[in-house]
Amino acid sequence: MAVVGIDLGTTNSVVATVNGGEVVVIPDAQGRRLHPSVVSFAADGTKTYSHEAVARRIVDPAYTVYSAKRLIGQPFRADEVKMAASRFPYRVEEGNNEQAVFVGPDRAYTIPEISGLMLAYLKQCAEGFLNEAVTGAVITVPANFNDAQRRATMDAGRIAGLDVMRVLNEPTAAALAYGAGQNMSQRIAVYDFGGGTFDVTILQVEGEVFEVLATGGDTFLGGDDADTMLLNVLAELFMTQHKIDPRQDPSSRARLLLAAEQIKRHLSDRTEAKGELKNIGVGPQGEPLNLRFQIDRTLFEQSISTLVARTLRTCDEVLSAAALLPSQVDEVIMVGGSTRIPLVRAEVQRHFGRAPRIDLNPDEVVSTGAAIQANNLAGGAGASETAVLLDVTPRALGIAVAGGFAEPIVDRNVQVPVEQTRIFSTSADNQTVVRIQVCQGESRRFSENTPLGELELSDLPPARRGEVKIEVTFRIDTNGILRVRARDPNSGLGKEAAVNIRGQMSDSEVDAAAAKIDATAVEPAPRL
Amino acid sequence: MTDAGAQLAEQLTGFAKRIFPVVNRMNYYQLLNVPPKADVPAIRASFYQAAAQLHPDRYHVIADAQTREQLETIYARIAEAYRVLTTPDKRQAYDAGLAEGKMRFDQKDRDAKGPKNPEDSLTHAEAKKFFRMGMICHGKKDWKGAVMNFNFARTFEPAAAVIAEKLAEAQKAQTAKGGGVGK
């Protein structure tokens, strides 16, 4: 039996394990260590994964799901979902409990089901490689993932038949990979610019204690956005050559987007990319249309300069939350494929006044840390000598109070686990029911925060407003997952009411999906 | 489970049994095992030591869910102590509260520029009740009623500044208007 660490990325996933005291990044049957987070669905119910599925983004864009991480744990109506769904060639609709669901050729799939399929594929890769059963996993998430996104990620793990030992923040995992066993005393910044998310975390590392001082980020800023910027550049070129907007056709758009990603990578090593992309579109007479292009690095850098500037603004916010100046950071660790972009490295160096550490593989460092933590939690090493990770809440958590305001109960950047209680009172005479609406975010206005869900406390004694007190307790565990308890301290009447989280699968839906995965058995990658 | 694991589980279980029942009676200095004058580096060192032993990552070796939950509650309180005592303004507010016997930092003290509801500063239930009734009269411009209720409130909590302030306000309005509304 083995446990693994999984970096379930927006674009690519990596799975690693500790084997004989060494971290091993697990390849697929073809020896590839980076597994595209893509699942393609055929009408007969069969699925293709990872590299094989990437090819299907062109031939079957409507049924090939990528970037599922941008949707996970978000209700269908969330702006982010609307924005992302409008760009995806696959269809996203509203399902049960406000969930966003993907419309597959055979049925609708919830987003945790899709991520669950990807995780099941990774689990199988690992089992094939290790030749033993994989039972547990530490799965990483962006530090600024909210409660709902974390729960949905855990659901995905359960669907894949994994015991999710911990949902671990990606930058914390990276810090662990960097500092575990080094007995260092350093203040480090982890600059994590991935495929779909950006975050930055400041940590104090003292021996085996990794204390997160502050974290922050942008859930909707990543390499994908750089691809889109470049796609627009290519589309403009195509329009000047053919007078047709290739973005109108899903297949043309998909081809250009994949080309944009390749050009982006190319421009990290070279200063110019030029060539011809064949069969991007079809002309009025049915003739294939090609695109000749020549893009130099400067043009690319101009197109993404606003994205990079946004990351540096976030760095400043997080540093100020930790009451630190950029010069007070001893090392900057670069994580995520987007940190290969020369402009990103140069801007980070300028901002922090020191060269960032690029010696750790930015694609693998997160899964490496996750594997170390999985091994620690499984008791693979002597428990007392292993690292202890002191992580924090990425956002404030609070409840709605009269007047459309939000009252925080737990602030952001507070260490977990945490338990906080606040007393509230009724706002109307003879009020016997209170509805406690839970939100995540720092705004004083409830509507400006992310609503998470609600719970009700009923059978309160009728009394004048303000006379009935309600004690609300938030408890957040080391996974960053919230439990809410509400009680009337006078009558002792109380309940640990479960918060009904918007946009989530119910437990029974998760169990049913997990059973379905068992029954269909994940097809392993075809072996050559 | 290894022998070392079993031993660790036994130690932690014993710790939970001892500390959990009294955790609400322990102040932050006791929780962190530091003297009240301890400086930030000393507090941090002590907290790191506690974290290395008591962070939830350490007790996956314990099968009993209740013990795990109790340990998590204790650890969360220690982390809270660390957070408050290493933030200068919070520590100052905490020390002031501790002198009045409050073991935990009250979140509301944080934005204590003035509690949103003035009655929050009152401790006596009857004082609060009459103060609230006084405020209702105040809202209706029933100055006579307001003065009466604020006076009642003052008998339960004579030292409260907020009552004195509102009473003076109502008395002044009463003199100016020559009595309450209507009758």
pLDDT at position B180 over 60: no
Nearest chain A residue to B9 by CA: give it.
A383
A466 lies within 8 A of chain B by CB: yes
Comparing CA positions, the residue from B167, B101, B136, B55 lying closest to residue A415 is B55
Does residue A24 sit in the same domain as residue A151? yes
Both A102 and A52 in one domain: the answer is: yes
User: Is B61 contained in some domain?
Assistant: yes
Handedness of CA A117, A118, A121, A127 (dihedral sign): negative
Note whether residue A330 is domain-resident: no
Question: B101 and B134: one domain?
Answer: no
Greatest mean pLDDT among A444-453, B51-60, B69-78 lies in B69-78
Indicate if B85 and B148 belong to the same structural domain.
Answer: no
Chain B residues whose beta carbon lies within 8 Å of the beta carbon of residue A405: none
- The per-residue pLDDT for A274 is 93
ipTM reported for the complex, 2 dp: 0.86
Domain holding B58, by residue range, is: 3-110
pLDDT in tens, B127-150: 888 888 888 787 778 888 889 989
The yes-or-no verdict on residue B109 having pLDDT over 70 is no
Give the DSSP letter of residue A25.
E
Final residue in a domain of this structure, among B90, B110, B130: B110
The answer to whether residue B183 is domain-embedded is: no
Indicate whether A15 and A40 sit together in one domain: yes
* B76 inside 8 A of chain A by CB: yes
Rounded to a whole number, what is the distance in Å from the CA of B129 to chain A's nearest CA? 9
A170 carries an active-site annotation? yes
Parts of chain A with a pLDDT under 70: 380-385, 493-502, 518-528
User: Rg (Cα) of chain B, in Å, rounded?
Assistant: 24
**Separation in Å, CA of A424 to nearest CA in chain B:** 11
Which listed residue (A28, A60, A170, A454) is catalytic? A170
Last residue of a domain, one of A302, A336, A371: A302
Residue A88 structural domain? 2-183+361-390
Subunit contact B48:A389, Cβ cutoff 8 A: no
State the Cα–Cα distance between residues A95 and A509, nearest whole angstrom.
Answer: 12
**Does A481 contact chain B (CB < 8 Å)?**
no
Q: Is A20 exposed, middle or buried (0-12, 13-18, 19+ CB in 10 A)?
A: exposed
Strand partners, A408: A398
pTM: 0.83
| CA closest to A322 among chain B residues | B87
Beta strands in A441-488 (DSSP E): 450-457, 469-476, 482-487
Residue entry with tokens 């160096």: A349
Residues of B in contact with A379 (CB under 8 A): 1-2, 5, 60-61
Number of domains in chain B: 2
Is A467 assigned a catalytic role? no
For B55, the closest of A206, A388, A419 (CB atoms) is: A388
Q: Order of strands, edge to edge, in the sheet holding A92-94?
A: A92-94, A100-103, A108-110
User: Does one domain contain both B16 and B61?
Assistant: yes
Token readout for B45 is 């060192």
Q: Are the Cβ atoms of B73 and A379 closer than 8 angstroms?
A: no
Among the candidates A302, A317, A336, a domain finishes at: A302
Give the C-alpha separation, A484 to A11, whole Å: 34
Residue B115, pLDDT > 50, answer no
Q: Is residue A42 in a domain?
A: yes
Q: Give the position of tokens 């995806």.
A: A88
What is the pLDDT, as a whole number, of residue A494?
67
Helix (H/G/I), strand (E/B), else coil: A463:
coil
Residues B61, A379: C-beta atoms closer than 8 Å: yes
Q: Which among A28, A47, A69, A227 is annotated as catalytic?
A: A69
In chain B, the residue whose alpha carbon lies closest to the alpha carbon of A407 is B108
Q: Is the Cβ pair B75, A383 closer than 8 Å? A: no
* In a shared domain, residues A50 and A156: yes
Query: B133 CB near a chain A CB, below 8 Å?
Result: no
| In a domain? residue A209 | no
B182 pLDDT band, cuts 50/70/90, is very low
pLDDT score of A381: 46
Between A379, A422, A477, which is nearest B60 by CB? Answer: A379
Q: Are residues B59 and B131 in the same domain?
A: no
| Cβ neighbours around A416 below 10 Å, total | 25
Count of CB pairs separated by less than 8 Å, A with B:
64
Alpha-carbon gap, residue B127 to B157, rounded angstroms = 6
Instruction: Spell A164-184 as b/e; 16+ CB within 10 A means b.
Output: bbbbbbbbbbbbbbbbbeeee
Kindly determine whether residue B75 and residue A417, on different chains, have CB atoms separated by under 8 Å: yes
Per-residue pLDDT band at B118 (split at 50, 70, 90): low
The verdict on B55 touching A (C-beta cutoff 8 Å) is yes
Is it the case that residue B169 has pLDDT exceeding 90?
no
A239: domain CATH number is: 3.90.640.10
pLDDT-above-70 percentage for chain B: 87
Tell me if B8 is assigned to some domain. yes
Segment B51-77 shows an average pLDDT of 89
Report yes or no: B56 at the A interface, CB cutoff 8 Å: yes
| CB neighbour list of residue B1: distance below 8 Å, 6 or more residues apart | A379, B9, B61
Cβ <8 Å between A388 and B52: yes
**Domain count along chain A:** 3
Residues 395-414 of A with CB under 8 A from B: 409, 414
Residue B52 and residue A418: Cβ atoms within 8 Å?
Answer: no
Contact: B48, A379; criterion CB under 8 Å: no
Q: Are residues B86 and B20 in the same domain?
A: yes
Cβ–Cβ below 8 Å for B57 and A389: yes
* Catalytic hit among A28, A155, A192, A364: A192
Of B110, B140, B162, at which residue does a domain stop?
B110
